[in-house]
Every structure is written in C-alpha cells, then in structure tokens.
Amino acid sequence: MEQYIKWFPGWENEYLGFNQGTLGILLVLVVVSIIFRLIAMTIVTRVFSKITKLSPLAAKTISESRGVFGVAAAAALFWQLSEQLALNMDLETSFVMMPKIAVFWLPALSQLLMLGALLAWALKEVALIGAVVNWWADEDGLDGTEKTLISALESVLRFLIVIFGAMLIANALNFNLATLIAGMGISGLALALAAKDTISNFFGAITVLIDRPFKVGDWILTKNVEGEVLEIGLRTTLLRTGADTIITLPNANLVNQAVENYGKRRWRRYQPSFHLDIDSSPDKVQTFCNDILKIIIDNQQTTNEKSSWACVEALGPQSVDVNINMYWDISSGKTEREARELFLLSVMKLAVSIGLNFYEPRVRRQHSN
C-alpha cells in the first residue's frame, strides 16, 4: 500500500508523527469505508426486501438496523486495511509513517467498532423471529402460547448474543479469557444458587411452551386450582378461576404435578342416572331405555354412539336405577348445559308419555305409612 503514498504531493512532510502520504491514505480509507457502508446498507435492504413487504415489523426492524450493519461493514473494511497499513511499517523500504500509538489504536478501535456494531445489529435482528413466524403462520395468526414461546426464544438469543459478543470484545482487547471464564463460572454458580427458583420457573416455562400440555384459552385442573389459562409467562402462568379471580402459578410447579386439560377433550362425557318407581312395569322400563338410546343417537350434538348406552343398572329396595352413558360433541360449557337441559326435558316427556313415575322418597314414605 505504501506505493500509493508517493502519489501525494509533499508525502514526506510530517504532522504529529504522520507523514503527509500516510494521512492521505487514511483519508482515502475513510472515504472508501463510507462508500462501503452505503453499499452494505443497500445489500441488506435488497436481501430482506421480500419479508419487509409482507411484515411491517420486519420492515421496521430492517430499516432501523441496516445503518448499524453498514457501520459494522465499514469498520471491518477499515480494520483490515489499517492493519495492513500498520504491518507495512515494519518493512525496511516502507514509506508509511505513523506514531506507535496510532499503529496500535487504529486497527484496535476499528475492530471494537465493528464488534460493537455487529452486536447491536444482531440484537435488533432478533425481532425478525416473530416477524418470520407471523409470516409463516396461518390466517388465524399466533395464539398466546406461541407468542410467549417466541418471546422466550428472543430472550435466550439476546442473552447468547451478549455473552458471545462480550467474549469477542474481551478477546479483541487481549484479555485473558481463561481467567475471565473461570471467574464467570464461579460468579455464575453463586448466581444460580441465589436464583434457583427463578431459573426453575424459566425452564418450567420452556418445558410448557415446547411440550404444550395446555395453551392459552384451555381450562385446566391442577392439584390445588382450576381455571382458564390467560397467559403463559417466562416465570409464571396466570389462570382465571370460575369465581373470576386471577391465580398466579409458578411454572416449576406446573411441570412437577399432574395437569388435567379439559381443552383437549375430544368429547364431553355425560352419565346421568334416573330412578324409577319400583312398581314400574318391566316392559315400560325396557321401552324407556330403548327410546332414550334413540334420543341420544338422533341428537346431532352427540357423538361416539357405539359407546353410548341406556340400561337398568340396579334394583334398589324402592327404585329401578337406569344409568345413561353418552358423549357430547360440544366445544363450550354453555352449549353443553343447554344440550343437557334439552336432553333431560326429552327424558321427562318420554317418561310421561310411557306412564312411568320417577322415584320420590317422600311419596314412598307416605305410602308406607
């Protein structure tokens, strides 16, 4: 590179330890780096042009981060060229003249600027994960669980980027990484012991988000609480109970106990029992059972008809016990309650039409007296 120094008029003139030719070369490097920054920004915009058209979040992220990436690219170019310029000073025939402090700090500062800009750019680009997942998602979009999983993944990536970025910067500053890592290991152990509950809850959240035993909107039953899942966070899960209160559950507790998920039911089982008067006619009871089964099969809201039945289960001292087994193909509790009401009213009408009476203890006691 020193051959270009002679092109500058008065290249031997010295200013603050630099000859004029070296200053000219450094000025050219700055201009070239600025041009290279603009080229890098244009390349980034074109590479991500497709996703920026489909996602406003991606467009905003790329727009805000492309300048930082351009700085990283320009700093990387200046670092390599200035380092080469500094190496040329060691040659006996070199025309490069710089003070020793410049020989060390020009490449070092440009390298640090490159690493810092890359770290800032990588942290900004983490937001693209949510944009890409939204782009690939179906028309219904993402549910709360998927959004929480994306948030957790973004947090983990940011943590890893900061750790690796700090190690690269420390290496650029010629720190002893072995001593640094050993110190971090001891400090990390102390922090882990102090924050073991928080760490357990975090990994509990990751387990819940990956295994997906339940999702936002499901109604679940745990050892101590029952309610609708409102939010799955990185530390806790929020449930809304039937009394409209909010309960906060640590995620570590959820992965260490059985969780019954009503939201994953393929159907809703219903097993009512009817107690008929002991004096009822056997033929009428048989007709009653057959007609109930017909009501179940003909109902459009029932399913799994092959496993449904209506039959006499027991003969008590004062009643004939008829048990029913049926399954509702229903998605909400309100609809299920309405369907049960219509079914029970149909059974009452059926009993009246056949001439059967339901067992009533008070009536039986009056007859026995």
pLDDT confidence of residue 369: 42
Question: Looking at 33-37, 76-80, 147-151, 243-247, which range is the least confident one?
Answer: 147-151
Which domain-ending residue is among 111, 136, 161?
A: 136
Q: What are residue 309's DSSP bridge partners?
A: 325
pLDDT: which is higher, 297 or 149: 297
pLDDT confidence of residue 319: 92
Domain count, the chain: 3
Which domain-ending residue is among 136, 151, 170?
A: 136
Q: Kindly state the average pLDDT of the residues 70-85.
A: 87
Q: Rounded to whole angstroms, how far apart are CA atoms 115 and 72? A: 7
- What is the torsion angle, in degrees rounded to the nearest 10, for the CA atoms of residue 214, residue 215, residue 221 and residue 224? 100
Question: Looking at 25-39, 145-159, 221-235, which range is the least confident one?
Answer: 145-159
The range of the structural domain enclosing residue 238 comes to 141-264
Same domain, 260 and 312: no
pLDDT confidence of residue 161: 87
Same domain, 290 and 335: yes
pLDDT: which is higher, 343 or 88: 343
Cβ atoms of 263 and 215 within 8 Å: the answer is yes
Reported as a single tens digit per residue, the pLDDT across 23-39 is 777 888 889 999 999 99
Q: Rounded to whole angstroms, how far apart are CA atoms 290 and 310? A: 7
**Whole-number average pLDDT of the chain:** 80
Say which CATH number the domain at 314 has.
3.30.70.100
Same domain, 11 and 131: yes
Q: How far is CA 51 from CA 41, 120, 124, 139, in A?
A: 16, 21, 16, 17
Same domain, 93 and 165: no
Q: Kindly state the average pLDDT of the residues 117-136.
A: 77
Same domain, 42 and 129: yes
Provide the percentage of residues in the chain whose pLDDT is more than 90. Answer: 24
3 backbone dihedrals φ, ψ, rounded to 5°: -65, -20
Q: Smallest Cα–Cα separation from 37: which of 114, 112, 103?
A: 114
Same domain, 94 and 178: no
With a cut of 90, say whether residue 291 has pLDDT above it: yes
In angstroms, the first-to-last Cα distance of the chain is 121
Q: Rounded to whole angstroms, how far apart are CA atoms 195 and 197? A: 6
Q: Rounded to whole angstroms, how far apart are CA atoms 209 and 152? A: 9
Reported as a single tens digit per residue, the pLDDT across 255-290 is 888 888 887 777 888 999 999 999 999 999 999 999
